[in-house]
Structure 1
């Protein structure tokens, strides 16, 4: 099997696979689109595939499992990561978070069946559940590991205090924390910069989370890493336009793509952030290949220029 996701520079996010965001069955065209996206990711050097049980109401996992069943030998070449902990709302009840032990065990079994595999390489807890008992959560994760159903564990959208509390009850190390991070979503970066300024109170990102993850070998994964295309095709503001032009200029100078430059900006951070790309378009997936195969080629000055241009304001 391929190396663990902690050693990979880039992940492919499978949220867009499986058709519409409803409970209607997926069709053969959805399988073909998923197959094309997975092939593009593999061609680009990406071998870690990120899922969640709720993506497309389970259809993302199911269509991936169908592709996996068709491709002999593929399972041994890839890392499958999925998440649990969110219950989607419907016409009767609102969406909630649910990390009760019995729910974790059931959701993992359902994911295994949809993915058509006998083991999940990495399971992330999708969102923090305020009612979760960390000792009960840890017991469920330990049981999954002992049964050989899950190899490693991590979290998603969690700050340092929540990670620390869970780790205190868990002998197995938490290996990943997936957060929204991009050149457009910079609160994770600016939380430490805005200390002792009036703007600090409005930041909201839990201070110390990056430092905790770096110290404890919890790999940071960045969802939304391409910023929904606002710097590579869909600018929304004058600052976006200026940032997009700078990215394009740097890409041309470095013989790569704008998507790669955008991902390099994250990867250049000393926390060794691993971006998650979620496009379903093969051409755009392949445009990220240099972020999987090359070291981030951004100087100190170039990195800051990108940050300040996107920020639109000088540093405090």
Structure 2
């Protein structure tokens, strides 16, 4: 396992992290096995959110840490807040809420769910168009001064949204959690089609990769195996024969699986991203974690990029 600093936070985190969004469906024994598998693979960073089944995933994860008697000081725990959902629905958000009281209350709720006194980082989950910088700043100050939160970041924010938010904060925003992978390559595709008029040249992201490197923010890649927006996984999917063929060839060359290659492709980028793994199957999780130790050549990286349906101008 490789480790790198998240932003400028001082957190020396594993390059792959475990996201526990779907842990709510697992028994206590299964949850503990999943966490144990991640730890055995060198993972020391775990990601959750208050809105994942109304905190149930965090509760399962927190209990797994207790059952395994994990030394809290040896791992990093991150949660996300700001998505408000109806109590009768697990899927539909009815608003984003960055008011001071809501942010503080949700962090407190997550601390209870996770059975811990602090979290290492809190992210604002998706940008609230009604955000008031003063309210967020007061919430961050209170959470930091109380020792409940050590670092802060965002998720799914554009560069200008980060700039605006950062202008009102004393704390540096260390990470931005964004969808990225071989099935969602827009952030790199646009940067290769600069000054062109074809479809790939359309900038949907505001230059997020270059911006993040410039501001020393770590990109945490979520849903690295999905194509589209939760449309499905591309590995072993008959819709992507060329991609799977090339992935298998590269996997064979490195003595790993396609799951590892999908992770290695993201980590090969010099932006020093962190890959969030959401598998709740221990054997598959082990395959994914192995990708952190695969060194792809530049040509292998480009071959995979081409096989995913991209080109060079």
Q: Same fold (TM over 0.5)?
A: yes
Q: Matches of 2:178 and 2:42 in 1, distance apart? A: 22
Q: CA deviation at 1:89?
A: 3.6
Q: Classify 1:223/1:109 alpha carbon distance in 2 versus 1 (closer, same or farther; 3 Å).
A: same
Structure 1: 4+ residue segments shifted above 3 A? 2-7, 89-94, 199-204, 228-231
Match of 1:15 among 13, 21, 25: 21
Q: CA deviation at 1:203?
A: 4.0
Matches within 5 A, 1:122-271: 122-200=121-199, 203-227=202-226, 230-233=233-236, 235-237=237-239, 240-271=240-271
Q: Which residue of 2 aligns with 1:25?
A: none
Q: Which residue of 1 aligns with 2:303?
A: 305
Residues 189 and 200 in structure 2, CA contact (< 8 A), matched pair in contact too: no
Number of residues of Structure 1 aligned to a counterpart in Structure 2:
300
Q: Matches of 1:94 and 1:48 in 2, distance apart? A: 27
Q: Which residue of 2 aligns with 1:279?
A: 279
Residues 13 and 44 in structure 2, CA contact (< 8 A), matched pair in contact too: no
Q: CA deviation at 1:163?
A: 0.7
Q: Matches of 1:143 and 1:236 in 2, distance apart? A: 51
Match of 1:78 among 75, 78, 85: 75
Q: Classify the secondary structure of the residue corresponding to 1:198.
A: coil
Residues 250 and 261 in structure 1, CA contact (< 8 A), matched pair in contact too: yes
Structure 1 unpaired stretches of 5+: 20-28
Q: Matches of 1:79 and 1:219 in 2, distance apart? A: 15
Q: Matches of 1:206 and 1:288 in 2, distance apart? A: 27
Q: Matches of 1:171 and 1:127 in 2, distance apart? A: 20
TM-score, normalised to structure 1, is 0.89
Structure 2 unpaired stretches of 5+: none
Q: CA deviation at 1:227?
A: 2.4
Shifted more, 42-51 versus 198-207: the winner is: 198-207
Q: Matches of 2:87 and 2:238 in 1, distance apart? A: 32
TM-score, normalised to structure 2, is 0.89
Q: Classify 1:7/1:70 alpha carbon distance in 2 versus 1 (closer, same or farther; 3 Å).
A: closer
Q: Which residue of 1 aligns with 2:43?
A: 46
2:58 matched to 1:58? no
Q: CA deviation at 1:5?
A: 4.8
Residues 14 and 278 in structure 1, CA contact (< 8 A), matched pair in contact too: yes
Residues 192 and 207 in structure 1, CA contact (< 8 A), matched pair in contact too: no
Shifted more, 280-289 versus 219-228: the winner is: 219-228
Q: CA deviation at 1:314?
A: 3.1
Residues 195 and 201 in structure 2, CA contact (< 8 A), matched pair in contact too: no
